Amino acid sequence: MIESVDVPIIAAHVPAYAHPGDAGADLVATEAVRLGPGERALVGTGVRIALPDGYAAFVVPRSGLAARHGITIVNSPGTVDAGYRGEIKVSLLNTDASEAYDVAVGDRIAQLIVLPVPRVRFVPVDDLPASVRGDGGFGSTGYQTGANS
């Protein structure tokens, strides 16, 4: 069993997990917004939390909204630091080129994932240890060139 963490919260609609074992708790909109094609809006959730030191919360898109309507989050994941006490807002983006999307009060618009985040010490060095991947990035593990691609 994974240990639970108490997070003090002020919210009219407390984020809830839809299913046992879900990683993200649903955040709901506290305001109605119409997102035209390609438009974005900062949507309030009414949620304010006090995370314990050593934790951060991440605001991520809901897969159903993304797949069915092209609704995503501009700065995904949005990071909520342990010291932040303001309202969690979601920067929604309508990626659909032709259809508007209406957000109603009470709609589930994002998910909140709370994770432990260790504080790291960045240690300056002259060289990094070798790895199998090396410095390959941005598609280096799945993109092939040549006649067989």
- Contact between 114 and 5 under an 8 Å Cβ cutoff? The reply is yes
- How many Cβ atoms are within 10 Å of 115's Cβ, its own excluded? 12
**Residue 79 known to bind ligand:** yes
CB burial of residue 101 (10 Å; 0-12, 13-18, 19+): buried
**Residue 121 known to bind ligand:** no
Of 113, 111, 55, which Cα lies nearest the Cα of 82?
55
What letter does residue 143 receive in the DSSP assignment?
-
**Residue 40 known to bind ligand:** no
**Residue 4 known to bind ligand:** no
How is residue 5 written in tokens? 């963490």
- Contact between 35 and 95 under an 8 Å Cβ cutoff? The reply is no
**Residue 103 known to bind ligand:** no
How is residue 71 written in tokens? 């609704």
Annotated binding-site residues read 62-64, 75, 79-81
Annotated binding-site residues for substrate read 62-64, 75, 79-81
